[in-house]
Amino acid sequence: MSIVLAVVVVVLVVVGGSAFFVLRSKKPKAMEVGTETETKPALKSPAGAPSLEGEEAGSKEPVISRGLDGSLPKSRSLLGSALARMRAKRALGEEFWVELEEALILSDLGLDLSVDLVESVRNKVYKEGVTATDAALEMLREEMIERLDHSNRDLNLGDAPPSVVLFVGVNGVGKTTSIGKLAALLSSEGKKVVVAAGDTFRAAAAEQLEMWAQRSDVQVVKGASGADPASVVFDAISHGAAVGADFVLADTAGRLQNRQNLMDELKKIRRVAEKASGTVTEVLLVLDATTGQNGLLQAQGFAEAASVTGVILTKLDGTAKGGVAFAIEDKLHIPIKFVGLGEGILDLVPFDPKAFVYEITGEVSQ
């Protein structure tokens, strides 16, 4: 408690003191809006395409600023070439390990975990007297798959249906889309699904969910915009129980894990959902594959507020590898359950550790 007080004091002193006495008279300048009308070629042609209207081809500014040479590769191809170089090497030198570590870092596994994995494989390689880089790489994959191997990735079912699945996560990770896809997946397996439009904050979130629901022919329970999300979820579960649904999938508004009041709201949603006539069997954290190390803080924050039971890793069809999900499973023991691979309704698939690891280490699983 003393820390909290101290922090409040510091904040007060700084904000109260300086904001309203010292700096009030000289507020930081807002961006000035220039009135001059700059003339600039409005046309932007894609790189390499012939430019129209005699626009000078050379007028394009250099794309890469200092330091990086012009050929910054995508991580995919970077990894590919790194691996090719590794293979070309006969001996397992220091450089091999550095490159391996960097390949993992580029996949967003995080520094600690990347160092740890490489270190661990390095020890094994030394012990077993392995000298070929291919073999060492294979050992890394085994190690990674091994670390992912202890989790139950099936959707938990409750004794008393409906099984309630809450979808949580920060803004823009794809919660609503994931619900639409999971609803389709479950109803294609003959399950009766009800979805709860628990995101009453974002404009048109309920409409978005309804459109997904139409595609897979499931029922949506929604409240008014700005309604209490907990009560919407409660109503949906009650409705689900009444119509004999197997699953109730509940959407929630995106929230950043450092927003205490919003996390409190989530706690309440979970609490109220527990009181309804189903069983909350899953709280799925939806995680965007492009997320960096903040993903760990997201997982921690949501796990604390809503006891997360699994991760849905979305947007894995882009160039991002989603390595932070590996870190989450490794450090926080929250299993990755599904991955999102596209915008189609069938693009949500069960997580496959082997494919994931091969994608991170640069080769497609057979």
Partner 1 sequence: MFESLGGRLEDALSKIRGKARLSEADVELALREIRNALLEADVNLLVVRAITDRIREAAVGAMASRSLTPGQQVVKAVNDELINVLGGETFRITYESKPPTVILMAGLQGSGKTTTSAKLARYFKAQGRSPMLVGADLQRPAAVEQLKTLASQIQVPMFSEWTSPIEVAKAGVAEARRIGRDVVIIDTAGRLTVDAELMDEIAAISREVRPKYTFLVIDAMMGQDSVNTAKAFNDVLELDAIVLSKLDGDARGGAALSVKEVVGKPIAFASDGEKLDNFGPFHPDRMASRILGMGDVLTLIEQAERTMDEEVAERGAKKLMEGKFDLEDFLQQLRQVKKMGSLKGMLSMLPGVPKELRDVEIDDAELGKIEAMISSMTKKERSDPSIIDASRRARIAAGSGTTSANVSALIKQFKEMQKMMRSMGIGPASATKRRPKPRPSKKGRKNRR
Question: Which residue positions form the known binding site for GTP?
Answer: 169-176, 251-255, 314-317
Return the number of the residue (132 or 332) whose C-beta is nearest partner 1. Answer: 332
Distance in Å, CB of 222 to partner 1, minimum: 12
Closest by CA position to 320, among listed 296, 340, 348, 350:
340
CA 198 and chain centroid, separation: 20
Q: What is the DSSP string of 28-77?
A: PPPPP---S--------PPTTSPPSTT--GGGSPPSS-TTS-S----HHH
Q: Report CA torsion sign: 238, 242, 243, 246.
A: positive
Q: Rounded to the nearest 5 degrees, what angle is found at the Cα of 238, between the Cα atoms of 189 and 203? A: 85
Return the number of the residue (19 or 135) whose C-beta is nearest partner 1. Answer: 19
Return the number of the residue (238 or 290) whose C-beta is nearest partner 1. Answer: 290
Q: In what order do the strands lie in the sheet with 310-314?
A: 219-222, 193-197, 247-250, 163-168, 279-288, 310-314, 336-340, 348-350
Distance in Å, CB of 212 to partner 1, minimum: 6
Interatomic CA distance for residues 250 and 322, integer angstroms: 24
Distance in Å, CB of 197 to partner 1, minimum: 11
- Give the length of the chain: 366
| Inter-residue contact 252 to 167 (CB < 8 Å) | yes
Interatomic CA distance for residues 326 and 333, integer angstroms: 10
Distance in Å, CB of 87 to partner 1, minimum: 21
81 three-state secondary structure = helix
Closest by CA position to 236, among listed 272, 267, 268:
272
Return the number of the residue (123 or 171) whose C-beta is nearest partner 1. Answer: 171
Distance in Å, CB of 165 to partner 1, minimum: 20
Return the number of the residue (160 or 203) whose C-beta is nearest partner 1. Answer: 203
Distance in Å, CB of 129 to partner 1, minimum: 29
Distance in Å, CB of 277 to partner 1, minimum: 30
Return the number of the residue (237 or 284) whose C-beta is nearest partner 1. Answer: 284
In the structure encoding, which two tokens stand for residue 4, read together?
């909290």
Return the number of the residue (124 or 331) whose C-beta is nearest partner 1. Answer: 331
335-361 burial code (b ≥16 CB/10 A, e <16): bbbbbbbeeebebbeebebeebbbbbb
